[in-house]
Structure 1
Amino acid sequence: MAVKLVATDLDGTLLNNGKKFDYQRFTALLDQMDARDMKLVVATGNHLDQIKQYFAPVNPARLLYISSNGAMVSDNEDILYERPVSKAQIKKVVAWNASTRAEMENLIILSGAKAAYVSNHATPEIIQAVRQFYPRVEQIDKLVEVDDDILVMELIWPENANVKEYVKELRQTFGEELHTTGSGFGSVSILAAHTDKSTGLKALSDIYGIQPDEMAAFGDNSNDLEMLRYVGHPYVMPNAEAFMHERIPSTAVADNEHDGVIATIEQLIEQEDQKR
């Protein structure tokens, strides 16, 4: 069955290590996809404001977005779907962090639809670091009193921290009430229950009438697994860790430093054209 929708992760997947990709080649690819009524979806843990900055050189209006690890689905103008974390759940996680990790230096970021929020205790250096990933950052007195739809709670430890152990502890503590996943770089993402990148693809399936076996997806990390398992044509990046290749056998034709996502989609289009 012909591929009608392609979803791609960003870091380690579409983006090279300099946070860029071949803009001219990507624009030409979008032209080919538009001519065949194929949709390209960016599926990432990043906030929507940050994502659009990456795509400013190629016109962000041409894409669909699954942001915040599946908690929000949007086009360039409108929110199509969202699954926020409740205030009661935020309170529980903040209490868990204070009681079990108070002696450790970690940072809680609430990623909302309007902005990202951190404690008033955060230093200017921390705020500057957070702005690299969240263009709009607000400091507040109490995290549990934010007036916004909170899509993701990010708990961030130093990069050498054992994030897998924290993910395990959070899953044991909150069970099916919340979805917890490691996002790399010492970060743990906490979302509403049963929320991941595949949730966003399911929403797009309902909206556009595109079935999973008509979708392809690209990823490199554990928070991509649900998405890769959902689609009919999953691809792991060659630069992904071994456990990803063990779970998903198909591999993109090149790594993220050599525009592997673009090259593989070009190959898919060529193969589909040959069948016609």
Structure 2
Amino acid sequence: MTIKVIATDMDGTLLDARGQLDLPRLEKILDQLDQRGIRFVIATGNEIHRMRQLLEHLVNRVVLVVANGARIFENNEPIQAQTWDDAIVDKALAHFKDRACQDQFVVTAMKGGFVKEGTIFTDLESFMTPEMIEKFYQRMQFVDELTSDLFGGVLKMSMVVGEERLSSVLEEINDLFDGRVRAVSSGYGCIDILQAGIHKAWGLEELLKRW
């Protein structure tokens, strides 16, 4: 069997326990993969901004399946994106409006990350360094109200509810949308809300078809 592609996740896989990446080691690995004609893909729930921050000068040398498959980048350029139906966006925003701050609700969109003013992210220190946390806050766009006209297309939504509420909120969301979007646990008491059928494996399949 000839290996043509290697794909990896980030958190708990390519990153260490503090959410950091050994760039010199990765660069040596990429050199060897290039010599053998093997593509290196990172499939992650993170969005492109954090990936560029983590990968620095190596971002052009990997293929990125980000936002749980909703966007794909090759040579640091977007090649594919899947955004939500507007009606589903409006339904989700209305449903979570009164608890957006409490549940640390984030809309990940084509125009960046959007958060309701007053939101405080309480658990970032468990998987980010202080420098990463500061940059995370700088990336977020804090707004008075989350409205669909801000986003330029929604890629995913996420929230932090804690381990004790995780199961009940997952069930709530999955019942609410009748399978059109789905909620999944992403660890640390966090939830990702994704388009049905759009996930990391889907993004990898799209790449394999393209290649």
TM-score category (smaller protein): 0.7 to 0.9
What CA deviation, in whole Å up to 9, does each residue of 1:167-200 have, x standing for no partner?
Answer: 1221122122113211112221112221100111
Q: Answer whether contact 1:49 1:134 (CA < 8 A) is retained.
A: no
Segments of 5+ residues of structure 1 without an aligned counterpart are: 209-276
Match in the other structure for 1:59: 58
TM superposition shift of 1:104: 9.0
Separation in 2 of the partners of 1:131 and 1:71?
A: 25
Match in the other structure for 1:174: 177
- Which letter maps to 1:152? K
What CA deviation, in whole Å up to 9, does each residue of 1:113-151 have, x standing for no partner?
Answer: 22111123x25x559x67654652212233223242211
- Which letter maps to 1:69? N
**C-alpha spacing 1:82/1:155, structure 2 compared with 1 (3 Å):** same
Match in the other structure for 2:19: 19
User: Is 2:77 aligned against 1:78?
Assistant: yes
Q: Which runs of 4+ in 1 moved over 3 A?
A: 101-104, 129-135
TM superposition shift of 1:9: 0.8
- Which letter maps to 1:31? D
What CA deviation, in whole Å up to 9, does each residue of 1:29-58 have, x standing for no partner?
Answer: 1111111111111111111110111111x5
Match in the other structure for 1:151: 155
Matched-pair identity in %: 26
User: Could you say which structure has the greater relative contact order, defined with CA pairs below 8 angstroms and 6 or more residues apart?
Assistant: 1
TM-score, normalised to structure 1, is: 0.66
Matches within 5 A, 1:203-242: 203-208=206-211
Question: Which has more radius of gyration?
Answer: 1
Partner SS for 2:111: coil
Match in the other structure for 1:187: 190
Partner SS for 1:13: helix
Match in the other structure for 1:223: none
Separation in 2 of the partners of 1:103 and 1:119?
A: 7
User: Is 2:208 aligned against 1:201?
Assistant: no
TM superposition shift of 1:202: 1.4
Segments of 5+ residues of structure 2 without an aligned counterpart are: 125-132
